[in-house]
Structure formats: C-alpha cells, structure tokens
Amino acid sequence: MKKLLLVFCVLLGLTGCGQVLDESFDKETLKQETIAIVENLNDENYDAIVTTVNDDLKDILSASVIQKAWEPVYEKLGESRDKSSCTIKANGDYATVVLISNYANGKLQVTATYNTDMELIGLYIK
C-alpha cells in the first residue's frame, strides 16, 4: 500500500512539471534554432547569434561576451562531432531547449530559452 501511495504521489507531482508548449512555438523550429546557435559557435560567428537575441538583452549578450564564454570551452572540447539529444520544455510564455552535442574531448550542453517571438532570452553553455 505504501508503494502504491508513493507512486501516486510521484505521478501527481510530475503532472505539475510538464507544462504544455505554447501554440506559438514549433518544436522543430526551436530545435533548429538551437542547432544553429551551436553551429555558429563552432564557426565563431558570434554576430549571427546576437541577431537572434531579444533587443533588451543585446548589450548583455553581445558578440564579445559570447566569444569570451565560448573560446575556453571550445579549446577543451576540440572538434565538433554530432548532436546527441535535444529536450524542449515549456515555461509559460517561454520555451527552453537543452541540446547535447558530442565533441572530440567531451560533450557540450547548450541551454537556450526563447520567448514567443522566437527571440533568444537566455543562453547557457556548459
């Protein structure tokens, strides 16, 4: 009985975690936009990433800021191999994409958050 109650509580808790993706988002577009960010990082095309950033954040997330964050990570990772997984989560009016990519010396996790206008409002490189 205790196990059944525990399973029920876990399932009940998980229902609150899975918000429905707002209809203004398209999963494939979110995935492709995030793949483009990774490709632009690999190509050192930081300005292309900045063009997708929300206007309010362009001063904070400039090309030079992205470059300074990316270069030490890329030096450790080495050559890009392939994309291994992509997860998309709803956060009300926002969507967060977590993309895992394989590199010669490890894995890269890029977490990108978009608003309903498909503007980048958050970028985390790990």
| CATH number, domain with residue 72 | 3.10.450.590
- Asked whether residue 11 is domain-assigned, the answer is no
User: pLDDT tens digits, residue range 48-106?
Assistant: 999 999 999 998 999 999 999 999 999 999 999 988 899 999 888 999 999 999 999 99
- Asked whether residue 60 is domain-assigned, the answer is yes
Query: For residue 61, what are the domain limits?
Result: 21-125
- Asked whether residue 12 is domain-assigned, the answer is no
Q: What mean pLDDT, rounded, does the chain reach?
A: 86
**Neighbouring-strand partners of residue 95:** 90, 114
What are the CA-CA distances from residue 91 to residues 58, 67, 113, 115, 123 (Å)? 22, 28, 9, 10, 15
